[in-house]
């Protein structure tokens, strides 16, 4: 499991940094209040900040010899819990194979001082909101 987790952490780091050359090692896992889940912190050189990443491992992941689909969710602090719940319902009612869930955080819950949704989800200075405009110009 550690090799797969390391691969997922590296993939997320690459996505956040914009370049494989800038990816850095993930922090040690921190427990999350839901079973089979953990949180890590990755540093994004491109954004110049640390990013929380929440990971939920499907049943049997640690002993599986097959591949699992991966679902990436943005706004991780707010949507990690609901995404787990929806996936559980889809698995129970529709029989879908549970994916590895990777939720990428925005710095904090909506409305908290550390939340960076405005920076991450708006084009460059197109919206007159303090902290907006984190998207590249091109």
Domain boundaries, the chain: 2-121
Residue whose C-alpha is closest to residue 78's, from 105, 114, 112 = 105
In angstroms, how far is the first alpha carbon of the chain from the final one? 38
The Cα 90–Cα 116 span in angstroms is 30
Tens of pLDDT, residues 107-136: 877 887 777 777 777 776 655 666 666 666
pLDDT value of residue 16: 46
Tens of pLDDT, residues 63-86: 888 888 999 999 898 899 999 999
The Cα 14–Cα 7 span in angstroms is 10
Report which DSSP code applies to 22.
Answer: G
The Cα 84–Cα 79 span in angstroms is 9
CB-CB contact of 53 with 105 (8 Å): yes
Note the pTM of the prediction, 2 decimals.
Answer: 0.69
**Confidence band of 28 (pLDDT split at 50, 70, 90):** confident
């Amino acid at each position: 499991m550690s090799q797969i987790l390391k691969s997922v952490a590296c993939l997320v780091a690459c996505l956040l940094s914009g370049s494989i050359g800038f990816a850095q090692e993930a922090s040690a896992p921190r427990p999350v209040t839901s079973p089979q889940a953990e949180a890590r912190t990755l540093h994004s050189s491109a954004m110049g900040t640390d990013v929380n990443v929440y990971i939920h491992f499907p049943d049997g992941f640690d002993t599986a010899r097959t591949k699992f689909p991966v679902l990436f969710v943005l706004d991780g602090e707010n949507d990690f819990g609901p995404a787990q719940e929806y996936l559980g319902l889809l698995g129970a009612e529709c029989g879908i194979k549970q994916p590895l869930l990777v939720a990428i955080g925005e710095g904090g819950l909506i409305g908290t001082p550390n939340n960076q949704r405005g920076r991450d989800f708006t084009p460059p200075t197109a919206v007159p909101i303090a902290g907006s405009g984190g998207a590249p110009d091109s």
